[in-house]
Amino acid sequence: MTLGTSAPATTPPDRSQRRPRRHDDAHHKALTGERTLNVFTHGFLAVWAILVAVPLIWAVLTAFKTDSEIFSSPWSLPAQWQFGNFVRAWTTASIGTYFVNSLIVVSVSVVLVMLLGSMVAYVLARYEFPGRGVIYYAFVAGMTFPIFLALVPLFFVVQNLGMLGTYHGLILVYTAYALPFTVFFMTGFFRTLPSALAEAAMLDGCSHSGVFFRIMLPLARPGLISVGIFNFLGLWNQYLLPLVLMPDSDHYVLSQGLAVLAANQGYRSDWSALFAGLVIALLPVLAVYVVFQRRIQEGLSVGAIK
């Protein structure tokens, strides 16, 4: 008796083998989407960099040309580099005087606002007292207040104090103008700093001011550098406040001087000196950004991570 061979039983497909394939497909789609996003992001940044860099490079090259070359060959390199344009802008157009005025006013204002702002921010971040929230949100509200609405009363206040058209008058206004942003930025930064070191210093007999200046302020150096650079750039480019509070031409800051230079040199057709003055005004801003750009990123990232 022979037994009939039965057909081999069909085994069900192993579904576990399909899961890796689906997982690989999803991973591949995710990588493709990420690459597409990276290409789009880098392309957008490249276009943005071109839009920013091309006018800047063109202005710098134009500052070394003669007036005839500016109109005859605006996109070519200078036939001969005219360094005398900068000398003429610095001396004849008084850009040197305006530059020094801006440097004095902005430097002193940044030092004052960093000192006062960090002290206020430290108290708001580390001490509990009635009205702390009201004071903090008053500074935050000051950031949103349009400055041009306060120009008329500000003018009369500075005039009644006898500080109209003076360096110290503009320095005080600059300090008050930049104080809300500094307090807002540094309050959040001081809250992220560890309090164990301050408590240990207090146990060792250190005073409150000693804890602030010896321990907390050095720890907040990345934030101080970041907000200091922002304040410097904002005050250096300020035009509305000095226009109202500096009526004397001998005390003009650089933003006012550039406006005067544009008007005067336009009538004189001295366009080369005008572009040279523009480049002189841009140099401090570019220098600060190039030198301290890593510091800005470190300060912002440290405050965000902590």
- Overall average pLDDT of the 38-43 stretch: 83
Q: Within 13 Å of residue 222, how many CA atoms lie on the same side as its CB?
A: 19
Q: Give the residue with greater pLDDT, 52 vs 22.
A: 52
> What pLDDT does residue 205 have?
84
Quick one: which of 271, 262, 239 has its CA closest to 252? Answer: 239
CB neighbourhood size of 284 (10 A): 17
- Overall average pLDDT of the 122-136 stretch: 91
> What pLDDT does residue 199 have?
83
**Is the confidence at residue 195, as pLDDT, over 50?**
yes
> What pLDDT does residue 305 have?
46
**Is the confidence at residue 7, as pLDDT, over 70?**
no
**Is the confidence at residue 267, as pLDDT, over 80?**
no
Separation between Cα atoms, residue 181 and residue 261, nearest integer Å:
32
- Overall average pLDDT of the 134-152 stretch: 89
Residues in contact with 76: Cβ distance below 8 Å, sequence separation at least 6, in sequence order: 69
Separation between Cα atoms, residue 214 and residue 212, nearest integer Å:
6
**Is the confidence at residue 189, as pLDDT, over 70?**
yes
Mean pLDDT of the chain: 83
Separation between Cα atoms, residue 168 and residue 124, nearest integer Å:
28
Q: Which amino acid is at 226?
A: S
Quick one: which of 91, 89, 95, 88 has its CA closest to 252? Answer: 95
**Is the confidence at residue 11, as pLDDT, over 80?**
no
- Give the pair of three-digit tokens for residue 57: 């490079």
> What pLDDT does residue 180 have?
94
Q: Of 1.10.3720.10, 3.40.50.300, 1.10.3470.10, 3.30.70.3270, which CATH number belongs to 84-305?
A: 1.10.3720.10
**Is the confidence at residue 1, as pLDDT, over 60?**
no
- Overall average pLDDT of the 246-258 stretch: 85
Could you give the percent of the chain with pLDDT greater than 70? 84
- Overall average pLDDT of the 39-54 stretch: 87
> What pLDDT does residue 107 have?
93
Burial of 121 (C-beta count, 10 Å sphere; 0-12/13-18/19+) = buried
> What pLDDT does residue 235 have?
92
> What pLDDT does residue 181 have?
93
- Listed by start position, the domains of the chain span 84-305
Quick one: which of 297, 178, 296, 156 has its CA closest to 236? Answer: 178
Quick one: which of 21, 249, 294 has its CA closest to 259? Answer: 249
Quick one: which of 96, 104, 102, 187 has its CA closest to 138? Answer: 187
- Residue 28 C-alpha from the chain's centroid: 39
- Give the pair of three-digit tokens for residue 215: 């321990």
> What pLDDT does residue 2 have?
46
Separation between Cα atoms, residue 100 and residue 111, nearest integer Å:
17
- Overall average pLDDT of the 151-163 stretch: 92
